[in-house]
């Protein structure tokens, strides 16, 4: 039976052995996009997810019809009068990304960069209501929310341009998040804040500078989270990038993820907000999960009480996926809250996505 899960439910904090015995069963988290080739109707797509979840508890069900919706946003900026093209591209890979600058004499506005998430979410919520027959609680609709820093960097390319106009992107994201959260209850909608820029920035930074940069990055993530009502349900999806199923970089360990998660937890405590469940990618692009015990050692330093979603599920590597889950839980000293792929299923075929779901369900129940 599929049931709804609140990602903010605390994880028991007993001893390591007791924690693994007493923690609730793991759930399966669908990181974001669904495979291309599915029927575009939101109700049919949700039904597809429910039918292929093989009895697993799902944290939420993604609602986006187009797995390349961020690509669509970037390409469409060429038609927005506020922007002029610096470099054209078709988003086939990271070297083929279009970049823009704000047209001379124009002051960038929220309307110039709006995503339109509230209008896109409403049909998905209506579809969920149609599927709710009363036979059991359904997972909420998952709404992907890009970090404003990521969106500014994707759009404007150059860091100086992105930082100059970052406040406009932040206001837009915050306004759309607030609108979605206020319009739909926590039973119907779960928000997922997504950022490959965070881990990429820490990967590129000199190690001594990483703690300071992690706190700066955590501050901008926290501002998005607190822009929604305190009752809003959140997940944080850290990412290595997955354009064309190829990552921006290959991590050596989970240290950068732990740095920014701990910094975000501190920021949210200062705001009086709870920490969301965090999806930590343990594989990247088309590469299998990390297999070295040392790669997971930084998880020992993770602040207690944070729900971890292990992004370790690779349908091509079931044994490595299981090993990654085991190593992560051994380092944490407790069961993870959920399991997931390293990124969304948008770069998979439907058959590959089904295989991933089946492996995730198996690992969740192991």
On the question of pLDDT at 101 being above 50, the answer is: yes
Q: What is the pLDDT of residues 246-290, one digit of tens each?
A: 777 788 899 999 999 999 999 999 999 999 999 999 998 788 999
Per DSSP, the three-state class of 178 is helix
Rounded to whole angstroms, how far apart are CA atoms 164 and 156? 10
Q: Are 120 and 63 in contact (CB under 8 A)?
A: yes
Predicted pLDDT at 186: 85
The CATH architecture annotation of domain 16-66+113-364 reads Alpha-Beta Barrel (3.20)
pLDDT computed for residue 14 by the predictor: 39
- Range in 138-142, 151-155, 245-249, 282-286 the model is least confident about: 245-249
pLDDT at 242 over 80: no
> Does the pLDDT at position 3 exceed 50?
no
Distance CA 189, CA 199 (A): 26
Chain-wide mean pLDDT for the chain?
89
Ordered alpha helix ranges (H), 237-292? 255-271
Range of weakest confidence among 178-182, 183-187, 205-209, 277-281:
183-187
pTM higher than 0.85: yes
The pLDDT score that the predictor gives to residue 22 is 58
Asked whether the predicted pLDDT for residue 127 surpasses 50, the reply is yes
Q: What is the DSSP string of 140-177?
A: PEEEEEE-HHHHHHHHH-SHHHHHHHHHHHHHHHHHHH
Do 140 and 188 meet the contact criterion of CB atoms below 8 Å apart? yes
Whether 327 shows a pLDDT value over 60: the answer reads: yes
pLDDT tier at 13, thresholds 50, 70, 90: very low
> In sequence order, what DSSP letters do the residues of 312-332 get, joined into one string?
---TT-HHHHHHHHHHHHHHH
Average pLDDT of the residues in 142-146: 95
- Using DSSP's 3-state secondary structure scheme, residue 180 falls into helix
Boundaries of every domain in the chain: 16-66+113-364
Whether 142 contacts 63, CB under 8 Å: yes
Q: What percent of the chain has pLDDT over 70?
A: 93
Tokens 């049919």 — which residue?
Answer: 44
Residue 217 predicted with pLDDT over 50: yes
For 235, the token pair is 């997940």
- Model confidence at 214, pLDDT cuts 50, 70, 90, reads very high
């Amino acid at each position: 039976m599929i049931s709804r899960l609140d990602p903010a439910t605390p994880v028991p904090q007993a001893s390591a052995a007791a924690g693994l015995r007493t923690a609730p069963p793991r759930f399966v988290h669908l990181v974001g996009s669904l495979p291309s080739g599915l029927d575009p109707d939101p109700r049919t797509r949700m039904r597809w997810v429910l039918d292929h979840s093989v009895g697993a508890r799902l944290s939420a069900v993604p609602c986006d019809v187009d797995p390349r919706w961020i690509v669509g946003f970037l390409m469409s900026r060429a038609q927005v009068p506020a922007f002029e093209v610096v470099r054209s591209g078709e988003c086939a890979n990271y070297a083929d990304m279009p970049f823009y600058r704000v047209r001379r004499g124009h002051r960038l506005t929220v309307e110039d960069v709006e995503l339109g998430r509230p209008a896109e979410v409403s049909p998905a919520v209506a579809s969920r209501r149609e599927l709710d027959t009363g036979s059991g609680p359904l997972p909420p609709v998952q709404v992907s929310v890009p970090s404003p820093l990521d969106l500014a960097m994707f759009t404007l390319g150059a860091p100086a341009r992105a930082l100059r106009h970052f406040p406009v992107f932040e206001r837009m994201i915050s306004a759309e998040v607030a609108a979605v959260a206020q319009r739909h209850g926590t039973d119907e909608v779960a928000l997922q804040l997504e950022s490959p820029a965070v881990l990429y920035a820490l990967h590129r930074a000199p190690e001594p500078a990483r703690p300071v940069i992690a706190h700066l990055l955590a501050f901008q993530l926290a501002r998005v989270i607190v822009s929604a009502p305190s009752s809003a349900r959140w997940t944080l999806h850290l990412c290595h990038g997955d354009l064309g199923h190829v990552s921006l970089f290959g991590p050596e360990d989970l240290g950068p993820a732990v740095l920014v998660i701990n910094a975000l937890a501190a920021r949210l405590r200062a705001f009086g907000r709870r920490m969301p469940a965090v999806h930590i990618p343990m594989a990247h692009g088309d590469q299998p999960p990390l297999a070295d015990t040392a790669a997971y050692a930084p998880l020992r330093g993770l602040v207690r009480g944070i729900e971890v979603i292990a992004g370790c599920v690779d349908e091509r590597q079931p044994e490595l996926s299981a090993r990654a889950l085991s190593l992560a839980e051994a380092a944490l000293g407790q069961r993870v809250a959920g399991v997931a792929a390293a990124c969304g299923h948008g770069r998979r075929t439907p058959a590959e996505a089904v295989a991933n779901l089946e492996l995730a369900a198996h690992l969740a129940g192991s």
